[in-house]
Amino acid sequence: MTSTSAEKSADKGLAAQATKLVVASVGSVRAKTTGPLLFIARLVVYGLVLFVVAITALTLLVILTVTIVNQLLPGEVWATYLLLGVCFAFLGVFLWSKRID
């Protein structure tokens, strides 16, 4: 025995509504659970990459500074180390004075 066309269209409407409800529920749960987790994971990964790049750039900058100052100052390399050590010490004292207790 076959259903009438009205019953078929009502069944399709009910099935479509149920499907939409399930899809909306799954999407809502996914947005509340994996959305923040993905954001935190990206934040950690990008933060670590940025940290490694910054440390590398700072190291290369110090090496470049030592090389340039060594070429400009007459004498041995200890004069360069002394000059840059004094500069870094003053920078450290300045930053220490600006800290928030």
pLDDT of residue 2: 56
Q: What is the predicted pLDDT for the residue at 87?
A: 94
Q: What pLDDT tens digit does each residue of the chain (101 aa) get?
A: 555 555 555 567 888 888 999 999 988 888 888 888 889 999 999 999 999 999 999 999 999 999 999 999 888 999 999 999 999 999 999 999 999 98
In sequence order, what are the residues at sequence separation of 6 or more whose Cβ sits closer than 8 angstroms to the Cβ of residue 73? 79, 80, 83
User: How many structural domains does the chain have?
Assistant: 1
Q: What is the pLDDT of residue 32?
A: 85
Rounded Cα gap, residues 80 and 67, in angstroms: 9
> What DSSP letter does each residue of 78-99 carry, written as one string?
HHHHHHHHHHHHHHHHHHHHT-
Q: Which domain holds residue 77?
A: 5-97
Structure tokens at 18: 């149920």
